[in-house]
Amino acid sequence: MYTRKSLRPLFVWRNYGWRPLLVFATYDALVGLLYGPLNVHWLDIPWAPVAMLGTAVAFYIGFKSNGSYARFWEGRQLWGSIVNTSRTWALRVFDFVQATPNERIPDSQELHELHRRLLYRQLAWCNALRLHLRRQTAERWDAEVAPYLTDPADRALSRTANPPTHLLRHQSREVLELHQRGLLTEYRHVAMMDTIQDLFNAQGACERIKNTPFPRQYAYFSFVFVWLFAAVLPLGLVEEFDSRLALGPYHVWLMVPFATLVSWVFHTIEKVGHNSENPFDNEVNDVPMTTICRSIEIDLRELLGETDLPKPLQPVEDVLY
């Protein structure tokens, strides 16, 4: 996710600028060459249909951009809910998992280790979900998820098709065991299962966004219509500059920068929408799941009383991942 208030010119030039500008400028200059020095005047077309096409394309790519942004914003809201649910889980672990008259824990150290295991498994789930959405589980599990897990059965979940689901299953199983041991009353057991259900709901919604691509018909025709408009735009402008300006024999070349600029604006709007279609691809405009996971880790480990905490992640070239 880009963090600066305004985009750096180099960022715009590198990600949105030079390639389309080069293509549009070359094509528009070719049209100007044919129309001007070579006198191929049958190329020009009336401006009215070009303007109508531009209006239609503007509405279409605006619709696509709104849909793409809605997907990004829903993804960000879901990860915001994961942050809050993780904090709720931590508080319920501390306040609900306590010794009762039916069960005596030998010392506070054992209780602390139990709390720590439940919270660290939650941290493992957050990172496992992040890797699952980015399709990076195989190569990064050992470095970014396994260190939070002490149970060999938990560590082996990288071989499953959906590791986050199985981590929550193990969490649910341990909560049931605590209830059976008398460390959780029935009400507290239900409350903790409700928290796990909230995590499942957030995971399912993220997977829905990830596994349901932006409708291809909208994405494809948006791209086609923008390039079609860019193709006919200089044909409509060239006659306008030729007939309405009296600036000498070379005034027709003024069409080139104007047509290039308008084409680039339409192309950029379309590309901005395209870049927001999938908010979980680890690109510069996506939900910063790695940063959010680090924030959750700092919160939960601090609640555990740990002091050797990792630092919050900082932007890399103004981008949080």
Stretch among 15-19, 28-32, 176-180, 185-189 having the lowest mean pLDDT: 15-19
Q: List the alpha helices (DSSP H) in the chain.
A: 9-12, 18-35, 47-96, 108-134, 137-144, 152-155, 163-181, 186-211, 216-244, 255-275, 289-303
pLDDT tens-digit series, residues 117-126: 999 999 999 9
Residue in the structure block whose two tokens are 């070579």: 38
**pLDDT at residue 285 in the model:** 86
User: Which of 27, 1, 3 has the alpha carbon at shortest distance from 264?
Assistant: 27
**pLDDT at residue 95 in the model:** 92
The answer to whether 279 touches 68, Cβ cutoff 8 Å, is no
**pLDDT at residue 34 in the model:** 85
**pLDDT at residue 38 in the model:** 73
**pLDDT at residue 104 in the model:** 59
pLDDT tens-digit series, residues 10-52: 777 777 778 888 899 999 889 888 877 777 777 778 888 889 9
Stretch among 64-68, 164-168, 251-255 having the lowest mean pLDDT: 251-255
Whole-prediction pTM value?
A: 0.88
Average pLDDT over residues 142-165: 95
Average pLDDT over residues 115-139: 96
Domain boundaries along the sequence of the chain: 9-70+218-275, 75-213+288-303
User: Which of 251, 228, 252 has the alpha carbon at shortest distance from 35?
Assistant: 252
∠188-194-195 over CA atoms, to 5°? 95
Residue 103: DSSP 8-state: B
**pLDDT at residue 100 in the model:** 61
Average pLDDT over residues 103-126: 85
Per cent of the chain over pLDDT 70 is 94
> pLDDT: is 40 or 162 the higher one?
162
Per cent of the chain over pLDDT 90 is 55
**What average pLDDT does the chain have?**
88
Q: Which residues contact 50 (CB under 8 A, 6 or more apart)?
A: 229, 232, 233, 235, 236, 237
Average pLDDT over residues 192-214: 95
Task: Check pLDDT > 90 for residue 144.
Answer: yes
**pLDDT at residue 47 in the model:** 82
**pLDDT at residue 310 in the model:** 95
User: Which of 76, 72, 73, 116 has the alpha carbon at shortest distance from 94?
Assistant: 116
